Each structure stands twice: as structure tokens, then as C-alpha cells.
Homo-oligomer: A and B are copies of this chain.
Amino acid sequence: MIEYYQMEQLIAIAQEGTLSKAAQRLLISQPALTRSIQHLEEDLGVVLFERKKNKMTLNETGKLAVEIMEKLVHDRDQMIRTLQLFEQSKFLISIGSCAPAPIWGLRHIFQETAHEMKIKDTLDSNEENLIQGLKNHEYSLIVLNHPLDKESYESIPLFEENLYLSVPPAHPLAMFKEISFDDLNGQSVLLLSRIGFWNEICVKKIPKSHLLIQEDVQVFQELTRASALPNFKSSITLQADPENENRINIPLIDPEAHAVYYGIYHKKDAYLFASLSEHFRHLDWQKVIQTT
């Protein structure tokens, strides 16, 4: 029967162009490869090469075979990773999130309720990556800003986050009770990096603005005090801040400035995560953010 090593050999030949070079890469001899491929053709019941005296080239069937086999080999490697990650998930809670706030909250909760588990987190604004990562057990839990309606997963709401614009009292927008992205489109805005999907919201909603992206939180906070530039805050980070007389926080009314986070996990992991919703209800964000 056909085995993976034969497929890998065929793929190597396709990539290297000749038997000899493929044999070198595979660390076997040319004659060994010759016979191995002959067996493969016998087992498949199909001719894969056009053989001239001194030259072998893949025929149409061979090209198709290589194409399919590359996928099969990839699938096997994917399986191995998946199984290893799945076993890891017994000791490690791996969180993938579209935004930073859920990570802060989840770390805080797990450190209290599952302190025997290690915790790892990844911020990724690409939703497809997160979903794929959940599927192959790279993540045991992902957080998106919407539920995921799939048979094998469960989605539970965690908490919500609303965006505010923070400006000095003298700023022209400071008099408004609420504003929209349009009102500040074009103005320079201070922005923290590593804020997940919020970044893409900003790029999309205030495309004319110059986003002064800051890597360092300390620098960012310094700049918000020292400059008259507007910056974004959220309902979460506001809870941690002491009342700041020098800044006025104005809620953004656009629906994009409002996020409800959902924890999404494999149904069989419900015993680990189903109570998260409840935990978030009693969460003291000030305490959470002080420890980040």
C-alpha cells in the first residue's frame, strides 16, 4: 500500500527535477529512488513519468499526483501539530484574542480559578487566524467581537467595551457630549499599538487622520498628559484610571466603537470555560488593570 515516504520521495523529485538530485536531498541512493518510484507506480496502478533513455519527466497524471500528495503530506504534519497542541491544552490555556482587554480579564480570572494551568495569550486582529487556531487546538479559547455559529463550538458573551475620545478641556471637541468618528477624521490621534481589531477600525473609520502609533505604554501615557493631541480610551481602561481633570472623555456613538466580546471554545472544553460569563460579571477591572 502507498505510504507517506513514497509521497515525499515523489514530491522531492518534482521539486528537484531529477532523480539524482532528489536522492541527494533525501539522503538515499539513486537506485533506491528508482525502485521506490517504480513500486509507487505499481501500487497506484498508474504511470507517473514519461521515461526517455536518460530523462524522466512527470506526465499529467504525475503532476496531479504531486499536487494531491503535497496536500496529503501537509495534512499529516498538521495533524501531528494538532495532537501535540491538544495534549498541551491539558496544562496550558492558550488564548487568542482580537483585542487586548479580554486577555487582561481572562488572565486575571484564570490565575484565580485555574492557577495550576499555564496561560499563554496571543493578540491577532485576523479573525481567520483565530478561528483556524481554535480548530487545530493552537488556541483552547478565542475571543471575537461576535459569536461564532458552528456546530462544534460554543460562544458565550464575556463583556463589552466602548470607545471614548480623550481630549484636553481646551480642545474644540471637548464641548460635545458625544461624537462620531467623522468628527475627528483628519485630526492627528495618539494611538497605542497592539490594540487588535481596534486598530483596523481606526484605519477604516478615520482614514484621513494621522495615527501617531506608540509602542510603549509609558510613552503613550506621558504624551497624553504632555500634549494636546486627542487619544482613544475605552470603557475598560477608564475604570483603571484615576479621575483626570486634564482630560475629557467623550463617548463615540458609531456602532463600530461598541464591541461585545465572545469567548469561543470547543464544546468539549465547556467545563473549563462555561462559567466565564459569570466571572466577568463580578470582575473588578481596576484590580485587573493594575496588575497588567
Contacts and interface: CB of A to CB of B under 8 A. Distances in A.
B79 A68 contact: yes
Contact of A72 (B5, B69, B76, B87): B76
Give the interface size bracket for A toward B: 20 to 34
A225 to B, nearest CB: 51
A68 B46 CA distance: 27
Contacts of A117: none
A11 to B, nearest CB: 13
A274 to B, nearest CB: 17
A229 interface: no
A270 interface: no
Given A1-B5, A46-B86, 9 more contacts: A2-B4, A46-B87, A61-B86, A64-B83, A68-B79, A68-B82, A68-B83, A69-B79, A72-B76
Interface of A: 1-5, 44-47, 60-61, 64-65, 68-69, 71-72, 75-76, 79-80, 82-84, 86-87, 268
